[in-house]
Amino acid sequence: MSAPVTAETPVRRPLPVRPEVLAPAGDWECAKAAIENGADAIYFGLERFNARMRAKNFTVADLPKLMEFLHRRGVRGYVTFNVLVFADELGAAEDYLRAIIAAGVDAAIVQDVGICRMIRAISPDFPIHTSTQMTITSAAGVDFARELGANLVVLARENSIKEIAAINEAQKSLAHPLPLETFVHGALCVAYSGQCLTSESLGGRSANRGECAQACRMPYELVSDGAKVELGDRRYLLSPQDLSGLEVLPDLIHAGVASLKIEGRLKSPEYVANITRVYRRAVDAAMAQVEPALRSGLAPTGNNTFDPAAARYDLEMGFSRGLYTGWFRGINNQELAHARFGTKRGVFLGEVARVGRDHVALKLVASLKPGDGLVFDAGRPDEKEEGGRVYQVDERNGETVLRFGQGDIDFSRVRPGNLVWKTNDPELDRRVRQSYEGDQIRHRRPLHLEVHGHAGGPLTLLARDDDGHVTKAESATPLEVAQKQPLSTERLRDQLGRLGGTPFELGTIENRLEGAVILAVSELNDLRRRLVADLDAQRAAPKRWTMTTTRIANRKLQDDPQPVAADPELIVVIRHLSQLEAAWAAGARTLYAEFEDPKKYREAVVRFRELRGSDSSATLWVAAPRIFKPGEDWILKQVLSCEADGYLVRNYDHLQWFAGRRRRGDFSLNVANPLTAEYFINHHGLERVTASYDLNVAQLEALLQGAPAAWFDITLHQHMPMFHMEHCVFCAFLSEGTDYRNCGRPCDKHDVRLRDRVGAEHLLRADAGCRNTVYNSRAQTGAEFADRLFALGARSFRIEFLNESADELQRTVGRYRQLLRGEITGAELWREFKLINQLGVTRGQLEATPQVIRRKG
């Protein structure tokens, strides 16, 4: 019988791995800022195929020089290849990948399944890091990445620490568990990465192609049951506070996170230096607490010299829309998005108490000094705000009086009650710039030494760095017996530790000299210089990854042409049980159902079987929620229990849960090229996959020319699902609850829409996991392109409905059936729908020439 656990019992935990600090780099100066402030690795994009096309980025030609620079400093470099790649781009993508591998890059961060396959076909050993754009939220997602040959998984930002620990726990029995990476700081996307179609929907600028227009940072009005909900100055309903994992860093380390990623490839070098320095020090302080304690079997105690308050100040001044732990501690919809602004603020200083002719007075809640910049927040950040540099700070009768340069502030626009934010601290900026400007090496990596020898023989010095490079040097003259001042460990440390001007600092030193011996100082200096030079040369050499010469992009996926069905199949997607009979009456014989409440699937299946009678060719397929996270098995069990004819696979867990049943892939799998399609069709056994909504008609034609058209469902008509998010707008703004347990379920009671700045009202829906989807108010059609797609062999076409009435659904289905029979043209259908639908129908993402997006500024 084991001893009882008491408060005094030592808490034994597995020793956590020191996580890498991974910093962003939009250009050379940012790379240097990251290195000098302690980054273990940086990630950066090239001029194509990366999700931050607005950053300066590097070029393929920069890679050899950049990687040599990074490796000399003991820093790893990862290229972001984190976009969907279209069929007609695969050749260019392969050329890029070969150049990346040849340059000795440490890994590629990849979104596209087909690109993962291409990398593995080109090189069996080049590391793949699956991007957060791959929407991996569970252990099944990690398994999927492992099958693709990935070496590390970047989890979705929405995973909590508890969920991260559970995902790691699920891997503990594996011989080679995949390391997990998570974003720890920076701008927090409100939508799941890889699942946001907002920029694409509003203007053809795909977030999956690095062209996000940040519609989440714009103001919206909340409309419930047709009436505007008064929310005061809360208008930025989809703009989360910025992520900061500083408070929960020890918990992330204990959960087994291997890499802590800082967002910010569009940010300045000052930002990169500042944030990297804070997290470098925080990780070092956390590990200093953890490692000695855990090695002795005790829970960590003692003092941490790291100053969290000072660190938070630096983070807020770097860039802040408010700092919050995001989803790390679980879901709290009241705190995630304060909704007051979607722009940079900084450190909160207090509220304006009085406004004078040439000054303002307030009670300061944070430090302020002359020269600092501030802004007065009247709750209308989309309008011009008053602000400027403080000229004078006076303490009077318990309040602080602030004065500014003449004419800098229009005091008539400042009101008592305005919030005041410090937006700039020149002293901090100066300190940050000093950390990386110039040629001085500031951040050094440990150099570990072993010293061997005996009198009459040479002194042998072995050196190694933390990346596994090892070198050896021997003295030209033999060791002599020391009459005085032998080479003690202290003397060796003093002489061999003189590493100024090099990227090294002395780490451990093992003195294995036999007896009291001595060697000339000049010889010790020469040994040190030779070792450093040899290690530097080793580190500068490019990594040699295996690479095949066989071209991948041009290979045929299918030698024999597949027979094409003569008649097209019209697939009707319904989202209400009441739409089922209307779809059947309109002639639809293949239905996909996506209901908010999966309990209703059983009723739908029963009714559908009554309608079809003996017609076994008619089928009803059902969809589970797009996202699965640990602990949500109950939802999938409900979906399975309906015993539908087939199931839509929308994420990696569905591949496992629906195995052995008829399965088709939904749009959320992001199938944009033949390599991705083939993987889901041939490796996972899906009957068909839905072509990505990121494809315009030219790209869709390239896909159908590069793979059998019979593999694909093509969506011709829909309300585009724009934001898909963990953030619950219903809970946040129509209740006082924090999540589903105490919100009162307003999603079940109200018709809710988000009204944008041009007056469009976008429908908001919640699924069984309480995740919200915002649907475009305007339906869109690709009817005009149906003939072109039909000519390429496409035969399976989807039309999707949202809240349409039975009459509207039947009319729409009827006209699309006529279109596919050739009885009307796409142009006729388009013109007719434009007349009968007051909101109009846009040509949608299939249009080759995108619209101009409406965006802030």
Q: DSSP secondary structure string, 640-655?
A: HHT--SEEEE-SHHHH
> What is the DSSP code string of 416-476?
TT-EEEEEE-HHHHHHHHHTTSSS-----EEEEEEEEEEBTSEEEEEEEETTS-EEEEEEE
Residue 838: the pLDDT is 30
Residue 401: pLDDT above 90? yes
> What is the DSSP code string of 308-357?
HHHHHHHHHHHS-S-EE-TTTT---HHHH---S-SS---EEEEEEEEE-S
Instruction: Give percent of the chain with pLDDT exceeding 90.
Output: 82
Distance, CA of 631 to CA of 629 (rounded, Å): 6
Q: Is 77 helix (H, G, I), strand (E, B) or coil?
A: strand
Q: Is 477 helix (H, G, I), strand (E, B) or coil?
A: strand
**At 846, is the pLDDT very low, low, confident or very high (cuts 50, 70, 90)?**
low
Specify the DSSP class assigned to residue 488: -
Q: Is 462 exposed, middle or buried (0-12, 13-18, 19+ CB in 10 A)?
A: middle
Q: Is 361 helix (H, G, I), strand (E, B) or coil?
A: strand
**At 612, is the pLDDT very low, low, confident or very high (cuts 50, 70, 90)?**
very high
Higher pLDDT residue, 646 or 298? 646
Place of tokens 């080759």: 848
552-561 contacts: CB < 8 A, separation 24 or more?
A: 552/90, 552/94, 552/118, 552/121, 552/122, 553/90, 553/91, 553/93, 553/94, 553/118, 554/91, 557/674, 557/678, 557/706, 557/707, 557/708, 558/707, 558/708, 561/708
Residue 220: pLDDT above 80? yes
Average pLDDT value for the chain: 91
* One-letter amino acid for residue 87 of the chain: A
User: Pick from 843, 826, 562, 607: which is nearest to 708 by CA?
Assistant: 562
846: its two tokens: 């299939």
pLDDT tens for 546-566 read: 999 988 887 766 655 566 667
The average pLDDT across 653-675 equals: 97
Residue 101: pLDDT above 80? yes
Distance, CA of 694 to CA of 208 (rounded, Å): 7
Which range among 157-166, 261-270, 486-495, 560-569 shows the weakest confidence by mean pLDDT? Answer: 560-569
The average pLDDT across 17-28 equals: 95
Place of tokens 């070029």: 59
Residue 198: pLDDT above 70? yes
Residue 210: the pLDDT is 72
Distance, CA of 685 to CA of 109 (rounded, Å): 26
Tell me the helices (H) and strands (E) count for the chain, helix number first.
24, 38
The average pLDDT across 312-319 equals: 95
The average pLDDT across 652-663 equals: 97
Task: Provide the whole-model pTM.
Answer: 0.92
pLDDT tens for 730-776 read: 999 999 999 999 999 999 999 999 999 999 999 999 999 999 999 99
Residue 291: the pLDDT is 67
Distance, CA of 577 to CA of 603 (rounded, Å): 8
Distance, CA of 763 to CA of 208 (rounded, Å): 23
Distance, CA of 846 to CA of 319 (rounded, Å): 37
* Tally of CA atoms within 13 A in the half-sphere of 582 that contains its CB: 20
Distance, CA of 339 to CA of 335 (rounded, Å): 10
**At 263, is the pLDDT very low, low, confident or very high (cuts 50, 70, 90)?**
very high
